[in-house]
Amino acid sequence: MQKKLHIKKGDTVMVISGESKGQQGRVLKLMPDANRGIVEGVNMVSKNTKPNAKNPKGGVLKQESPIHLSNLKVVDGAGNPTRVGKRIDEKDNKSVRYSKKSGEVIK
């Protein structure tokens, strides 16, 4: 069974703690078992690679490293970091996520 997370793939999030504090990016991948996610352009690390077909020269690559979900907050449409709640939408009776700060629905 999969864990319930307050963040989904594709959400725009802000880092609230750690070395990348204040940076924003889009969630590329979630790892619910490890409580971690990969965010575009955040928590960059250098990785040494041997030459291969994809990278014939090898060398040092910069790539995103997973960051703990407790250090991330979802950003609403106005660009403010916010907590996430769930409620039933009046129009189509479906459960939707909403910003607790502004009250607007998060897509």
Three-class DSSP category at 49: strand
Q: Which of 70, 84, 71, 66 is nearest to 22 (CA)?
A: 71
Give pLDDT, residue 90: 86
Q: What is the pTM of this model?
A: 0.83
Give pLDDT, residue 2: 73
Domain boundaries, the chain: 12-77
**DSSP of 24-46, one letter per residue?**
EEEEEEEETTTTEEEETTSSEEE
Give pLDDT, residue 88: 94
**What CATH number was assigned to the domain covering residues 12-77?**
2.30.30.30
**pLDDT of residue 15 exceeding 90:** yes
Report the chain's mean pLDDT, rounded to a whole number.
92
Q: Which of 2-6, 18-22, 73-77 comes out lowest in average pLDDT?
A: 2-6
**CB contact at 8 A, 49 and 59:** yes
Tokens of 48: 């040494």
Give pLDDT, residue 12: 95
pLDDT tens column, 58-86: 999 999 999 999 999 999 988 899 999 99
**DSSP of 88-100, one letter per residue?**
E-TTT--EEEEET
